Structure 1
Amino acid sequence: MDDETGQGAQDWLEAELADTLDEDYEIELEDAVLSMKIREIYRKAHGPSIPRPDYFRALLHLQAELIKLQDWVTHTGQKVVIIFEGRDSAGKGGVIKRIAQRLNPRVVRTVALPAPSDREKTQWYFQRYVPHLPAGGEIVLFDRSWYNRSGVERVMGFATEDQVEQFFQDVPEFERMLVRSGIRLVKYWFSITDEEQQMRFLMRIHDPLKQWKLSPMDLQSRVRWEDYTKAKEETFARTNIPEAPWYVVPGNDKKRARLNCMDHLLSLFPYEEVPHEEIVLPERVYNPDYERSALPAELYVPSKY
């Protein structure tokens, strides 16, 4: 490779890294598009977070390790389920987004099921979750899970006490069955304080880009804070089994919560770098008789930017 070509490749890689950082900044903007008044109140109540350069440096390092984990899972045929639970606005979606951001969606997929249909309500409770479990070489991230039964369904009255009790009796054995089948099951609970949730809800109310995140159910969760606390405590007491323990992630500081969760997740697996065959870019085949036809102008997206 001559000097000019080498310099061109270096410039291109630097531009790609800049684009990568731009993508991260775009995601971070969702936390910054707030009214100035709410932002000021939030900063006073919350205090300083990890400096942005330090955060991005750690985030990119952890995401690089997650790629190694993904390759190891694929190479060894592991089956991984990661459950993310917690109160509304606790940061589950944010950490899921950062975990999956640079991974192969054919290997790592997110499951966020809607409310059960009338038909699903007549099925075995766990039935609608089973089709989403991983095959060998796959990782599934559950953005809420079967623990809806002991959480929102119980608190909001969508499940009877008998149904909740049956759930508590069934779920330990259900999870043991998953583990016995070869699934690695990890359960995270994102924990925030009453005051932090109130601030995040206010941010959503005053930010037009986040109002879609608020539902009537979310607003009810503020009213029933103590009921959710009691439900969480009983869930931990009755479902924290050795085969699938709970891990609590303090979530008041979003950036630290994401980094800590990702770092902890990596620590749970004996993954190692998988050997790859060297990739060589083949030469392009040129056909001297081929002439590229011009496409009609109306097929192109207008260049407004």
Structure 2
Amino acid sequence: MQYLLDFSVYLEQERNLSSQTVKAYTSDIKDFLNFLENKGKKIEHINYSLIREYIGSLMEKGKKYTTLARKISSLRSFLHFLSSREILVDFPTSALRSPRLKRKIPSFLDEEEMATLLDQIEGEGFCFSRDKAAFELLYATGMRIAELVSLNVDSIDFNEEIVRVKGKRGKERLVPMGKYAQLALKEYLEYRKGKIAPGERALFLNKFGERISDRYMRERLNKYLKKVGINKHITPHTLRHSFATHLLNRGADLRSVQELLGHERLSTTQIYTHITPSHLKKVYDKSHPRS
């Protein structure tokens, strides 16, 4: 399917989306193209009637609203791609709206759990020092796991104590890093010298001296979670949730957290304004005249 291949290149090179997002989008569009083929239709035949029928077929299969929203988002991107290539003309993709979803409060580790996890990543050698540096940096900056594994050595500025993070759509932001992350990084960089493959610029390396994958980092996180006995469903993104939650609980303003996370819209950051019961009690005790 040439359209699918071209769309994949468009997502990678023009939209600067992560490999994971590209994979999800192309999978969704492959499903849509199969739907068209079964209907005996071609790309040029796409209209609202066909799209409504496709979405209806997904609903009949019992797809969750989250799945529907993602597939509609993928479809919107595909239609925009087709319009930009003048394969489809005068098709207003903005009219294709995703279903409204109830936003769930994101799961997070409390400060004690976070400290326990990071303090347990101890040991000698390259792997331990890399994992310690990676997870300290992930929590210190709140970056996405895809952003972490895409860092290069020159992304770190120890003089200014910042990290240059390349986010979605290639947008760069500067994020401060704390002393724990800096110390862990400096120790890791000493070990990295003996592992690096020729010409490799990646900050975090695998055992072959090449850029590490986000999948492998997920596996490493699971290892440490088992070690400390944390039984929650935790992913690298949970560290991002924890970063935002802890900042807001300690008085950070929402706009600053938005900038640190790299969110384009403030409404995306507002999901982190949930209040933990312990924080609520502290605020009450401090603020209420008859507490």
**Band the TM-score falls in, shorter-chain normalisation:** under 0.3
TM-score scaled by length of structure 1: 0.24
Find the structure with the greater CA-based Rg: 1
TM-score scaled by length of structure 2: 0.25
Task: Name which structure has the greater RCO, CA cutoff 8 Å, separation 6+.
Answer: 1
The answer to which structure has the higher strand fraction is 1
